[in-house]
Amino acid sequence: MEELKTINTDDKSKEPCAFCKKIMPFWNWLESRFGLLTCMDNYCKQTYSKGWSCLRVLSSTIAFAVFVQVMTGFVMWLSYSANAGSAWESVFNIQNNVTLGWLLRGIHHFSAQVLVAACLIYIIKMILVGAYKIPREVIFWLAIFMFFFALGACLTGDLLRWDQNSLAATQVRTKYLLLLPFIGEPLYKLALGGEAFSTLTLTRFLALHIGVFGGGFIVLLFLHGWVWYRSADQDKLGDVPVCPCEACKPDAPKVKFRPGQCLRNAIGWTIFMAIVLGLVFHFGQVKPGVPAEPGLQYGAELGSPASTNPMDAFEAARPEWSFRGLYEYTLRLQGVPEFVLIYCITGTIAFLFFIMPFTGRVKILHAFNVCLTLGLLAVTVWLTYSSYARDAKDESYLAAWEQDETEALRVSALIKEKGGIHPNGALFMVKNDWVLQGPKIYSAQCASCHNLTDAEGKGVVCQTPSAPNLYKYGTRDWIAGWLDSKTIKSDAYFGKTKFVNGTMVKEIVKMEDEINKLLNSAKEDDKEEGQDMVNAKNLIIDVLTAEANLTAPRKVVDGVPEGVPEGFKEAFSVTLSCANCHQFYGMFKPKTAAVDLTGYASFAWTKDLTANVGDAKFYGAENDRMPCYGPEGVLTAKEIEMVSKWLKEAASK
Amino acid sequence: MEETRVCPCKAMGESRREFCAAIAALGLGAAAVVPGAVAAFSGGFDPIMRGSAAGETPEFNLGALSSLPEDGTPVKKAIIADKQDGWTKYSNVPVGAVWLRREGDKVSAFNVLCPHNGCFIAFDPDGKQFKCPCHNAFFQLDGKQNGSSISPRDMDSLDVEVRDGNVFVKFQNFKFGCEEKIAQA
Ligand code: FES
């Protein structure tokens, strides 16, 4: 093997410096084993046309973006768990617990988006300046493949965070595979690792993301660099100009790769990173009401944990921005079979792009290629814009998003509160959280009969209310309504139930008549008696309101509950004859059974009533249509507890 | 100093002996690859080869008829069955869902999956219609398409029977994106 005496023998000024001379054995070793110096030398000796023109900055920026992807992606891989029960959890950990994890995720996510855009601009620019023609056809094809691989990496990477949105959106898009005849179904099953989304889908998507699309992109990039390096040699370029601009004319002044181009490349990288950081921070700022924690404010989106339960439908599934144009296009061309739209038309367009290096040699076809590219770009931008514009006005879409965002915030608050995620996963925490589940259970079960609406009709609206309105349930005003003859007969109380003709309503009417009679009587004694009754009624309302606010049952000492005012017993049993029917801490002996008022409307009482309204303690056999949720197996004990807790909490607001 | 290149075909060797050696090398190499390839192939294509158990369409008891509102307001009910998720087996979890509608004593059932592309169809109480949130396909309460929509067919109705006051539904999923209603294997 020939030993190198100096690096460049042909030029005296390039004599190696003293230091390099000293380590010459090392340089020689590098050269003999890898041929590195010759390669570097060749690279540095290459000359380029002056100016910013052409594609060099862009392609080096793409390479830089890939480097950033590999670096951040690998570190996230160290903490990621591809399992349906822990994928979201591990991403949550990266986003919120890992030091600067939100920045890591943010950079990885947004630089991927910028990378897709950069690949697209690279291809478009190649076509516009005519740099795609033979002998650069392979460079052009590789660029197109790189674009597709970048999209593939985005599609597969999107699912990995395993939140409601990414699951729902991926479920829709993978089903487009099924449109393919014969191979559609096998492909679908291969991608999913079975018939439905599961842990196996995550393991596969992770492997595809890193191994196929990520790794493939790097291979393509190296190939691209190699082929480009070879064809950059003017000899091999033939007489096809890189670009029609002045700077690219064969006799235009040339610059060397180093240092001019190096500097330009570095500026390109810096601009790239600035855009990425801008995105990382920009999307953080737009959410109002988010606690000031970087993990919640900045970086890539993380919605509420994905649920494959068909009852938890996510109603705002949309593709990522890069596919929005395609999405809108299928929406607008309804009626045309989707197979034609998705595969035939887009396939034809892709084919036209692939043959461009050949067609581009004919002048008029080059013009066609340019028009096709620009036209497609314009249409896509317009479609993308109109898709976003429509969603911005779609109330149910916005509501679904908001719901998901609220849920995500609540889960993270829960996790903070508990100091970590439950061993059964975040979804388990969601499912057992009264704040999140209460309103859902209420809407599904209670809201078909009960209104929960204020005087203006706002709240949880029931289409055909047929049971008491539960707005401000258990508050003083609400309880007082039961002891007023007008309200108790109204639709907000017993109006629409069979109890409107029952004993309670009759007794209340009777009581009120008597109070009015006594108060209007000429005799002082009667007036006093009337006033006593009014006082007794108010006392009972006070006592019941206190009951509703109890968090633990009262202690009963010698048959008397602690903390109940002195006069209550007389008011309840003598002044007003409530005790004829109602029980209170076992103090009385009611003749006929009605609802037991011990702990009335408190959380525990509400829970017991919801569980079994048919119990003798409550409406017993008199119950009017309300399901016995516990014994009938409609709701679990946990669900009953959650909806009761929520109802109490909603009332106090 | 262009070197004349060997024609790539000649790499197989010029003499008979060389040719035989080359063929033997190829054969042995291939044989050595086979076991690994077979294992990789069968493992990789496992999801396809795993045939799904076809059989009777299973029937599910979705609860008492009296629990459904009589005015025809649709109610979403879960189909509870066992589910295999990768290597994990879950018993009694929701594996699907249906929209149930009761008018008087008549009950109709629809799979919640949209025939277009399998999103979950929602009920829009204000418009009194079904709406698929993914590509805005609308359906009337009887499952018929409402106006022109991206969905290739009406909502997938399911067989319902009311026995002893309980609603039984024969639950199955259908293929997406095609005009005819074809049961999924
Ligand atoms: S999946 Fe329902 S409209 Fe597309």
- CB-nearest partner of A311 from B45, B67, B94: B94
Residue B1's pLDDT is 45
CA A177 to ligand 1 center in whole angstroms? 15
Handedness of CA A602, A607, A610, A615 (dihedral sign): negative
- CB-nearest partner of A199 from B86, B117, B177: B86
Q: What is the 3-state secondary structure (H, E, C) of A120-181?
A: HHHHHHHHHHCCCCCCCHHHHHHHHHHHHHHHHHHHHHHHHCCEHHHHHHHHHHHHHHHHCC
CA B53 to ligand 1 center in whole angstroms? 27
**B112 and B120 in contact (C-beta within 8 Å)?**
yes
- Chain B partners of A190 at a C-beta cutoff of 8 Å? 44-45, 47-48
CA-wise closest residue to B52 among B163, B172, B148, B185: B185
Same domain? For B84 and B165 the reply is yes
Q: Say if the Cβ atoms of B48 and A186 lie within 8 Å.
A: yes
Same domain? For B104 and B144 the reply is yes
B5 touches chain A (CB under 8 A): no
Same domain? For B35 and B116 the reply is no
Same domain? For B165 and B74 the reply is yes
A176 touches chain B (CB under 8 A): yes
Work out the angle between the directed axes of helices A321-332 and A101-129 (0-180°, nearest 10): 60
Same domain? For B44 and B73 the reply is no
B45 touches chain A (CB under 8 A): yes
A519 touches chain B (CB under 8 A): no
Q: Say if the Cβ atoms of B87 and A194 lie within 8 Å.
A: no
Nearest-Cα distance to chain B for A322, in Å, is 17
Q: Among all chains, which residue has been given the structure tokens 């480009």?
A: A228
B93 touches chain A (CB under 8 A): yes
Tell whether B178 is covered by a domain. Answer: no
CA-wise closest residue to B121 among A196, A171, A310, A442: A310
Q: What is the CATH number of the domain that holds B95?
A: 2.102.10.10
Dist. CA A485–CA A480, nearest whole Å: 10
Q: Say if the Cβ atoms of A171 and B119 lie within 8 Å.
A: yes
C-alpha dihedral over A225, A227, A228, A230, to 10 degrees?
120
B70 touches chain A (CB under 8 A): no
- Tell me the pTM: 0.86
Q: Among all chains, which residue has been given the structure tokens 């000492």?
A: A557
Q: Say if the Cβ atoms of B69 and A448 lie within 8 Å.
A: yes
**B97 and A310 in contact (C-beta within 8 Å)?**
yes
Nearest-Cα distance to chain B for A554, in Å, is 37
B148 touches chain A (CB under 8 A): yes
What is the tens place of the pLDDT at every residue in A540-581? 999 999 999 888 888 888 888 888 888 888 888 888 888 888
- CB-nearest partner of A317 from B88, B119, B177: B119
Beta bridge partners of A556: A561
A175 touches chain B (CB under 8 A): yes
Q: What's chain A's Rg over C-alpha atoms?
A: 37
Residue A249's pLDDT is 58
Q: Give the residue whose CA is nearest to atom 3 of ligand 1.
A: B135
Neighbours of B146 (CB within 10 A): 16
Q: Among all chains, which residue has been given the structure tokens 């959380």?
A: A603
In three-state secondary structure terms, A459 is strand
Dist. CA B123–CA A75, nearest whole Å: 43
Tell whether B2 is covered by a domain. Answer: no
C-alpha A8, offset from chain centre: 59
Dist. CA A617–CA A625, nearest whole Å: 17
CB B132 less than 6 A from any atom of ligand 1 = yes
Tell whether B120 is covered by a domain. Answer: yes
Count the alpha carbons within 13 Å of A281 in the hemisphere toward its beta carbon: 5
Q: Which of B151, B153, B155, B178 to mutate to test the pocket of ligand 1 (most atoms within 8 A of CB)?
A: B151
Q: Give the residue whose CA is nearest to atom 4 of ligand 1.
A: B135
In three-state secondary structure terms, A510 is helix
Beta bridge partners of B138: B131
Which DSSP string do the residues of A567-618 spell out, in sequence order? Answer: THHHIIIIIS-GGGT--STT----SS-----TTTTSHHHHHHHHH-TTSTTT
Looking at the structure of chain B, the number of domains it has is: 2
Q: Say if the Cβ atoms of B48 and A198 lie within 8 Å.
A: no
Show the beta-strand stretches assigned E in A405-510. 452-453, 459-460
Residue A3's pLDDT is 44
A364 touches chain B (CB under 8 A): no
- Chain A partners of B148 at a C-beta cutoff of 8 Å? 334-335
A57 touches chain B (CB under 8 A): no
Tokens of A226: 């190699």
A171 touches chain B (CB under 8 A): yes
What's the average pLDDT block by block, 10 residues per block, for chain A (653 residues)? 44 69 86 82 65 66 95 97 95 95 95 95 88 84 96 96 94 91 92 91 96 97 84 49 53 64 86 94 68 82 90 87 92 87 94 93 92 96 96 91 90 93 94 92 86 85 85 89 87 86 88 89 86 89 90 85 86 86 87 87 91 86 84 87 90 77
- Chain A partners of B150 at a C-beta cutoff of 8 Å? 330-331, 334, 338
Same domain? For B44 and B70 the reply is no
Domain span at residue B20 reads 8-48
Count the alpha carbons within 13 Å of A212 in the hemisphere toward its beta carbon: 17
B127 touches chain A (CB under 8 A): no
CB B107 less than 6 A from any atom of ligand 1 = no
A338 touches chain B (CB under 8 A): yes
Tell whether B156 is covered by a domain. Answer: yes
Please give the angle made by the CA atoms of A340, A345 and A350, to the nearest 5 degrees: 140
Tell whether B35 is covered by a domain. Answer: yes
Same domain? For B151 and B73 the reply is yes
Query: How many residues can be counted in chain B?
Result: 185
Same domain? For B33 and B85 the reply is no
Q: Give the residue whose CA is nearest to atom 1 of ligand 1.
A: B117
Nearest-Cα distance to chain B for A569, in Å, is 41
CB B95 less than 6 A from any atom of ligand 1 = no
Q: Domains along chain A?
A: 4-43 (no CATH), 55-308 (1.20.810.10), 320-393 (no CATH)
Tell whether B54 is covered by a domain. Answer: no
Higher pLDDT among residues B51 and A618, named by residue: A618
Q: Say if the Cβ atoms of A176 and B175 lie within 8 Å.
A: no
Which atom, in ligand 1's list, is nearest to the CA of A172?
1
Selected residues 377-416 of chain A with any CB under 8 Å from a CB in chain B: 396-397, 400
Neighbours of B182 (CB within 10 A): 10
Query: How many residues can be counted in chain A?
Result: 653
Count the alpha carbons within 13 Å of A504 in the hemisphere toward its beta carbon: 22
Dist. CA A450–CA A461, nearest whole Å: 8
**B166 and B105 in contact (C-beta within 8 Å)?**
no
CA B120 to ligand 1 center in whole angstroms? 8
In three-state secondary structure terms, A460 is strand
Higher pLDDT among residues B40 and A54, named by residue: B40
Tell whether B1 is covered by a domain. Answer: no
Nearest-Cα distance to chain B for A61, in Å, is 36
- How many A×B Cβ pairs under 8 Å? 101
Dist. CA A93–CA A79, nearest whole Å: 8
Question: For residue A634, what is the nearest residue in chain B, using CA coordinates?
Answer: B63
Phi and psi for A338 in degrees, rounded to 5? -65, -30
Which atom, in ligand 1's list, is nearest to the CA of B121?
2
Residue A86 neighbours by CB under 8 Å, 6+ apart: A425
Q: How far is CA B115 from CA A196, A308, A574, A635, B135, in A?
A: 16, 18, 67, 31, 12
Same domain? For B93 and B36 the reply is no
Q: Say if the Cβ atoms of B149 and A334 lie within 8 Å.
A: yes
Dist. CA A260–CA A346, nearest whole Å: 41
C-alpha A147, offset from chain centre: 26
Tell whether B128 is covered by a domain. Answer: yes
CA B121 to ligand 1 center in whole angstroms? 8
Tokens of A70: 């590999």
Same domain? For B116 and B39 the reply is no
- CB-nearest partner of B176 from A168, A175, A330: A175
Neighbours of A68 (CB within 10 A): 19
Dist. CA A443–CA B73, nearest whole Å: 14
Same domain? For B63 and B154 the reply is yes
Phi and psi for A23 in degrees, rounded to 5? -95, 25
Question: For residue A83, what is the nearest residue in chain B, using CA coordinates?
Answer: B86
Dist. CA A229–CA A48, nearest whole Å: 12
- Residue A585 amino acid letter: Y
Tokens of A74: 């690998």
Which atom, in ligand 1's list, is nearest to the CA of A175?
1
C-alpha A532, offset from chain centre: 60
Same domain? For B28 and B90 the reply is no
